[in-house]
Amino acid sequence: MLSHTAIAMSGGIDSLVAAAILKEQGQSLLALHFLNGYESGISPLTLGGAEANGEEQARRALQPLADRLGIPLFIIDLRTEFQKQVVDYFVTTYGSGKTPNPCLVCNPTIKFDILMIKARELGADRMATGHYARIEMAEDGRRRLLRGVDPQKEQSYFLSRLTQRQLAVALLPLGGMTKEQTRHFARRRGLVPATAQESQDVCFIKSGNYGDFLAQQPRFVPQAGTIEDLRGRIIGHHQGLHGFTIGQRRGINCPAAEPYYVVRLEPQRNCLIVGTKKDLLTSKCRVDQINWIAPPPQGPLQVMTRVRYRHQAVPSRLIPLGADRAELLFENPEAAVTPGQGAVFYAGEEVLGGGWIE
């Protein structure tokens, strides 16, 4: 039986070039585009309703790209699944006073799980994406997840929650390329993406305004509360903790000799705790629900840790506290280590694993 590879096609240049590379390698490709329900902006599309038809919009935009490559295009409706797995997680996490990272959830639960199941139903046994990261097979047969070669674009952080089973079916054609090489590849072959925009950190919020998005979600009720300094003095009021994250300066609006930054959120009291820039520093944190890609460590381990995507990995000592929990001790105090974000551990180029910052 002929083996097929599915390519998750968004319409951007990365997935388009990834598809073209695989096509030139002689692979039998299927292009899959999944609807998340937020193609038109903040409000989700009504399932089966008369609002803008996401499938028709996607097909108009993507069919010319698929035709240009000579591959079939399938539009997969995952609006219900995306809402439950990604958007509800996003809203709930903000509601608990933490800062979510939806890409870390979407990749293992949507792209490499639910979408992969759909791909198998169409005859594909692998899933390719336009991520800038690499996968290699170790001598023992397990998959190693490695950084992409482009230090400005590499996206291994976002794939750190993939399991060995998922990595075994993943193809990442752009891992060995820089973004400029991707653009050059597209220009030489006359490949024009459906959208010129770079992929966003949160793809389902088109405006970039998280507060507006959250305020429009069912069952999310922003509550005003107090702003306190580290000595417990009330110095102001906020309109909802969802508008803030640790390290944020904008929006506090409390005059002081030094600028205030968000140091902590206390959802039980609906209180925002602020301090000066030096108060953001911490020497340690705990990490929960760790997904180990490499074999789990049996004792303390020296690692390089990224505590958010736009963060330079820093030297840390990882102390296991069980199968999927650990304490991280930073070699030098780190600023704005944020509960709810992902901490990802590296040894050189290899991703060892990653979990959620408590």
Which positions are catalytic?
Answer: 106, 203
Measure the CA–CA gap between 33 and 19, rounded to whole angstroms.
Answer: 13
Candidates 113, 109, 28, 37; CA nearest to 75 is 37
Alpha helices in 96-248 (DSSP H): 102-106, 115-121, 164-167, 179-189, 210-215
Reduced to 3 states, what is the DSSP secondary structure of residue 110? helix
CB atoms inside a 10 Å sphere around CB 305 = 24
Reduced to 3 states, what is the DSSP secondary structure of residue 58? helix
Instruction: Judge residue 106's burial from the number of C-beta atoms within 10 Å of its C-beta, 0-12 exposed, 13-18 middle, 19 or more buried.
Output: buried
Measure the CA–CA gap between 328 and 316, rounded to whole angstroms.
Answer: 6
Measure the CA–CA gap between 303 and 156, rounded to whole angstroms.
Answer: 15
